Amino acid sequence: MAVAKNLIIVESPAKAKTISKFVGKEYVVKASMGHVRDLPKSKTGVDTEHNFEPTYLIPVDKKKVIKDLDSHIGEKTIVWIATDEDREGEAIGWHLLQALKHPEDDHVRRIVFHEITKPAILHALETPRKLDHHLIDAQQARRVLDRLVGYELSPLLWKKVRYGLSAGRVQSVAVRLIVEREREIKAFKAEEYWSITAQYKHDDKEFDAELNKIANKKAKIDDKAAADKILKELEGGVHKVASLEKKEVKRYPSPPFTTSTLQQEAARKLGFSVKKTMVLAQIMYEGVDVFGETVGIITYMRTDSVNLAETALRQAQEVISKEFGKEFGLASPRFYKSKKGAQEAHEAIRPTDLSLHPQALKPFLDKDQHRLYELIWMRTVACQMKEAILEQVGADVATEKSGHALPYIFRATGQTIVFPGFMKAYTEGKDNPEEELEEMEKVLPELQKDEALNVQKITPEQHFTKPPPRYTEASLVKKLESEGIGRPSTYAPTISTIVDRGYIKKEKKQLIPTDTAEVVNDVLVEHFPDVVDYKFTAKMEEDLDAIAEGKRAWVPVIKDFYDPFHHAIEVKQDTLKKEDIVNEETSEKCEKCGLPMVIKLGRFGKFLSCSNYPKCKNAKPLHAPEKSPADIELEKKLAGKKCDKCGKPMVIKTGRYGSFLGCSGYPDCKGIQPIIHFTGVKCSGCGEGQLIERRTRKGGRTFYGCNKFPKCKFATWDKPLKNCETCGKGVVVTTKDGAEKCLTCSGEKE
């Protein structure tokens, strides 16, 4: 293979493909396929006795990559490290040179760029620098720290709680947040309260006012009796406008996107998971084919900066003038202040070319890419538009009866948009839908002070206080960031890890802790408080930032953490007893031997087990699962099913892979039968069978396959709805994004 004059090394093939189109033939662009060296999986790989020296290995699948890269390097080859501009990217560059056994000499040049466009790449080639070893040290410190926590704490959990558990420096704190929120919800005691709303009519316009004050104090109505008393006193009363207040309010746009705010807003407005948002953003950053060329259409997506480049600020005004009108533009750019610790040299997430309107890119992007690009485009444009001007009106309505003033004051509020400003393009979403409703335009009629109002009706309404909401991915990211836990690059993998490892389950976007999460969290909080302490974890992030800035050396930071942590591990190996953690006594007696039953933690959560185990192996679910309407209906359908072994009735049971029929004579008879869920859709594979719901042996994932299996092996992950009317044979399924699509003719269905 020919030696290259210039070798540019990036992480991914997509990035390599895009950059190769911007540079001349004297450059060869190759991908490292991510990290080329890592700590060994079979052991800790960190020498805790000698300055925490890590042992790095080249994985088998990366040896071929290194060999290929090395074949392009000669004595005079200039190696350009063009990995991402963050700590991870800097470390990948250093590991590449180490794996290639290439010295950091004049033939090595480090280039960084915020976007993958031709001007950005050519500018980077003109302004190279050396590798930043402070950034490399910070990444290495994080890797070593996380390895020590994971490889010393996880085995302790295996031994003292249950095999296969894991712990992590950031993941365990995220789990703690979710567990504590769930306990707040369970402990919450709803309190009753009432509101009273008056509906008025004025010049054929109706508007509402809510009872706001009673005897000049904030209205507080505890129960129906109190509400009825107020209604009786108001009966036949007169309502007059006591005061009017009008004021002009300015609203300013939110800053351009950082990693965390993009993740939050994509979750709120588009329903994307954090992981999905980052995957889509990565594709758009590395390059997509638009108008006949491959180009990155957004800037780097891992950033905590809200800065925008001067060129972007100039272009924003041109686009605003063209799309919305000159009156929406700014005379001078609006700048935002990044949070403490943000890397100021970085940019916010923005389109690389604001003149590429989302509508123009629609033919070149898939549905979700387009939706995310549109969100980024609108947010970027909006942040450089004029502020919105609103007129807020407040009216206090006094009450009187028989010429005497009553102590009740109602309050009516309205809001009109005088000038929409940035709101013409975009407004930020809210975590609570009720907040969105409150911000809608609400017009009050023209009222005059002291005028009497026409009362249509007065309505009492009962309410109950609500518990705090469960975390969603968006609100968890927001909380982690506000507490200073983790960094932009860690949020997506952290959430994926705690879900994949069975600590958290997702239900309708809500994050719910499992029994395992609660038990493990309690162990960590009691016995390793520093590991899951919010402030301690945030302080560790600050220390890693200080290493990146060259203000601290990495070894002392690790030592300060590791010495007390390792001592605690050694102590708990001897003092912590498994039975104290996973065995919880109950008053229930074993129906087989009469001894007490205890609550234990198994792979699938808590269950009841005989305390005389293993002599008595009686075990059963802790709580009988609540039957869904579908289960009740299924029970009716299967009521006549008999066991083919003993003839006794079959009952619906739930196992590792879902519901099945089990003999009611268990444990004397262990007969089982599958429950077949027919979809009513004909198989397009063989044209004879029907698609039924099935589950995988590993993991119990639901899929749909032909009931003629193994003769016909047709299967799909997506739920079949019907047979396609267009092609006459194919199966129409519901895809993950909710669209309907035929698997044969691939036509999307309206």
Q: What are phi and psi of 519, to 5 degrees?
A: -65, -50
The DSSP element (H or E) to which 516 belongs, if any, is helix 515-527
Q: Which residues on adjacent β-strands are paired with residue 415? A: 392, 442
Structure token pair of residue 616: 């008595």
Query: Quick one: 625 exposed, middle or buried, by C-beta within 10 A (0-12, 13-18, 19+)?
Result: exposed
What angle do the packed helices 259-270 and 473-483 form, to 10 degrees? 160
- Check if the beta carbon of residue 616 is closer than 8 Å to that of residue 593: yes
Nearest to 524 by CA among 42, 172, 14: 172
723 pairs with which residues across the strands?
731
**For residues 395 and 451, what is the distance between their CA atoms, to the nearest angstrom?**
12
Tally Cβ neighbours within 10 Å of residue 382: 23
Distance CA 670, CA 675 (A): 16
Alpha helical stretches, state H, 394-502: 433-438, 473-483, 491-500
Question: Which residues make Cβ contacts (< 8 Å) with residue 373, sequence separation at least 6?
Answer: 284, 297, 298, 351, 358, 361, 365
Tell me the one-letter amino acid at 57: L
Write the DSSP string, 38-61: B--SSS--EETTTTTEE--B--HH
Token code pair at residue 4: 């290259």
Annotate 169-184 with DSSP letters as a single string. Answer: TTHHHHHHHHHHHHHH
300 is catalytic: yes
Question: How far apart are alpha carbons 685 and 706 in whole angstroms?
Answer: 8
Look up residue 107 and give its amino acid: H
The contacts of residue 99 (CB under 8 Å, 6+ apart) are 36, 37, 58, 62, 66
Kindly tell me the burial class for residue 695, based on how many C-beta atoms sit within 10 Å of its own C-beta (0-12, 13-18, 19 or more).
middle
List the catalytic residue out of 27, 200, 285, 300.
300
Round the CA-based radius of gyration of the chain to a whole number and report it: 32
Phi, psi at 319, each rounded to 5°: -65, -40
Distance CA 632, CA 645 (A): 25
| Range list of H helices, 28-86 | 60-71
Is 255 within 8 Å of 305 (Cβ atoms)?
no
Residue with tokens 């948009």: 417
Cα separation, 594 vs 482, in Å, equals 53
Environment class of 30 (CB within 10 Å of its CB; exposed 0-12, middle 13-18, buried 19+) = middle
Q: Calculate the CA 593 to chain-centre distance.
A: 48
- Longest CA pairwise span in the chain (Å): 103
Query: Phi and psi at residue 240, in whole multiples of 5°?
Result: -125, 150
Listed in sequence order, the DSSP H helices in 576-728 are: 578-582, 629-637
Provide the 3-class DSSP secondary structure of residue 130: coil
* Token couple for 50: 């000698």
Nearest Cα neighbor of 193 from 231, 145, 226, 162 is 226
Measured CA to CA, the distance from residue 702 to residue 687 in angstroms comes to 22
**DSSP 3-state of 706:** strand
- Residues carrying an active site annotation: 300
